[in-house]
Chains A and B, each alone.
Chain A
């Protein structure tokens, strides 16, 4: 390595630090700082989370009676459509990619910002606009055909369906822009010495997700544009009476929306992969297998969309192919889960709220993954698709997976973001109430569906104790909503009573914990050089060139070799 390394030139450029903007607007509103944009995503996303959660409670109140009269059929249909659309596009995806991705990822790779800060600014500001368009639909007649909006029934939908198209189109473009931005950032802007296999696993997850966002979202944008043109100008893409094909929409929609499931879960995988080693004080088990399985899931994830359409009249041989490819996804996912369980083994585990949510994730997500294999098997899917079983399944994946991941990430990075500690006791209450009520809400849906309750029903047959189990689900969901309040109380508590967090309150080893909390505007005064993977708790920190005042803040680690667990 006697050649003059490009790192030297990179240093010379990178060490030029721009001054922080001073005006309120440039600092907090139209900021180009990825950290501020990340926090903006989080605030906006959590706001929509509250709204979408309240819509879910309306659904649960309606279903407490088999002939529910709480909402009219129209309103009920609009409410679950808006709940689903908002949770997918305005809550989970923006929080996990825009929120945690923007705040954490550049810090973890030792960058001062993302590659295209202005693109980032534009991408963020499309998000609240899209949210306002979406919720604005309530004023003109909200869309009512479910978050999937299958034509031809969505062609008959109220005028708010046009706003829905526009909102999702906008957030889709924003997602594509963020995807491009993150790919370039991760490929080009890692600190010197941070090879691909030295990247934190959260960065691997963001890289896989960004590839999915960039490629798959364009299919959704095309489909939405066509739906909009058909609704507004009568251009016949989907209406069979005019020669269109309703199944075309399903292919284009699921070509995006199945990868979207991985857009919603891979970053949560990344969060879990950071939290488990930190609090078990162990290297993550099987680093490369976890990293490569993220990529494998992203690749195979493009080829399984047809499993949403087993009842749509696909030829049996196509169903067969989609079934087998879908089952293939279970293998890398299983590898991840087993590796996380093995990471717990022999650890010195500290159960902070973040760790509790990560551990709970392992149980709830595993359950959701297993019911996913049930749905992959065509004959069982022909019975269970379109029922509450599917609703139960995807809430185990998206709530027990993605939202638990979001909660875990919030508890984990909150001190880094704000500089204050949250209450650990309150956080533990939040976890246990959430874990119990989550299972109470979504577990009964599995047998409700199998025994004959279709989804999207405002009223249902009371056979097979359906009313009893719906009441159980509804009551649990009220506890679930109330326990979520504890998170917000905890945030407020941390600003009033929380201790100041040092640079590294958890004794973590990834780069973002090597600088002060909250991080300075420029992140790293001198960009560090990375010598090894970040998870070797038995070794000294693998960074050189950290600014001394910041680097010293890192908790010193034992270098005493490989001690057995202390018991």
Chain B
């Protein structure tokens, strides 16, 4: 274990919230915990180490509100490329709101407001053009939501800046688009299953396939950050395992933030875990530390209750 992490108060509370300071060292958490495998580490997949971990997004003292109701209060987090960040916590803890604020989807909801800074590569996201931001920070939702088009068109739709190329024939002769579509499907681990008929309606795929299509669609825009909002909550265990493998594999090329209610899942896929409760960030740290040796009492209770 690395030297004792300093504890930083992020809210005046009954007991301190425990947040690891934004580390300068690359992959400090994951490397340190690998040295001391715990009993529960067996649950965790052997994962290839990612060499280059660097910070892409930074959430600094962010408050988020819908109308008068501040649902996220004073949260600070780093989002790094090369690792998976899992947001865990009970329903209503503000995880999804925080996730949606990262590509300004909270703005769609009436009354969505924010205080504090969210930056992407040092730039405040509010200063960026919103559609450019959403192409760089892409979102996959809880319910698989493919468009009612063919598999091919679903992916091709997100390739272009705005309007997808028109006309089937022209598309098919555009090798560049064709390649990009196939590449995105391959990265999402769906290509082998659908290669036979890319013109099939996306709505005829199974739930797990639809969700991977949604991931492929999100990846086709070549995002730098991928946001996943409980991507497996509507799926069966086998599809879930496929998608978890996919998430772990993708983390080298994109920064991934995943919201999940499933603690085992958070433990299986995440490098860092943030536990939120009632809008506050209670604890943030390397996954093994948060799950094996939670520093905050509320984290212990939440994880203990869930693990039985």
Q: Is chain B a partner of chain A in the same complex? A: no
Using a CB–CB cutoff of 8 Å, the interface residues on chain B facing chain A are none
